[in-house]
Amino acid sequence: QQYHLIDELTVYENIETPLLYKSVKSNERKALVGDMLDRFNIVGKKDLFPNQLSGGQQQLVGIARALISKPKLILADEPTGNLNSKQSDEIMQLFKQLNEEDGVTIIQATHSESNAAYASKIINLLDGSIAKS
C-alpha cells in the first residue's frame, strides 16, 4: 500500500514519468498530465513534492500516474484507503467507467464493502483461503 512516488520529482513530474518511458511528445504529455491534474483536482499541487502532500493527496497522485498511460490491467491494493468518502466514490466510479467503457480489468484488494459493491465478481478470502465467491 505504498504509492512509490519519486521523492525528488514534483507531482507534475511524477504523473508525467510513465509518458517519458513511452516517448510521448512534449505537447501531448502536457495535455495528458493537465487532464489528470484536473480530473483529480490537484492542479494547485502540481509543483509540490510528495513529502509536502497528505497521504490522500499522495494516493491520488499515484492513481493518476497509474492511469495516465491507459493500462489494460490495474492491480489496486486498497486504492481508496486514505481518501475521504467523496474521493473514494469518485475513484470507484472512475474504475467502473474504465472497466465498462474501455475494457480495463481491475483487480482490487479491499476491506471496504462499498468498494467491493462496484465489482462484477467478488472473491472473499478468510485466513488466506477462498471463503466464497
Give me the residues of the chain with pLDDT under 50, please.
Answer: none
Helices within 45-84 (DSSP H only):
55-67
Q: What pLDDT, on the 0 to 100 scale, is given for residue 3?
A: 86
Give the C-alpha separation, 13 to 127, whole Å. 40
Tell me, what's the pLDDT at 1? 60
The arrangement of secondary structure in 71-133, i.e. its CATH architecture, is: 3-Layer(aba) Sandwich (3.40)
**What confidence score (pLDDT) does residue 133 get?**
62
Predicted TM-score (pTM) of the model is 0.85
pLDDT of amino acid 53: 95
The rounded distance, in Å, linking the Cα atoms of 38 and 131 is 40
Identify the sign of the CA torsion 107, 64, 71, 3: negative
| pLDDT the model gives residue 132 | 72
Domain boundaries, the chain: 1-70, 71-133
**Alpha carbons 18 and 13: distance in angstroms, whole number:** 10
Residue 34 CA from chain centroid, whole number:
16
* Each residue's pLDDT tens digit, 13-42: 999 999 999 999 999 999 999 999 999 999
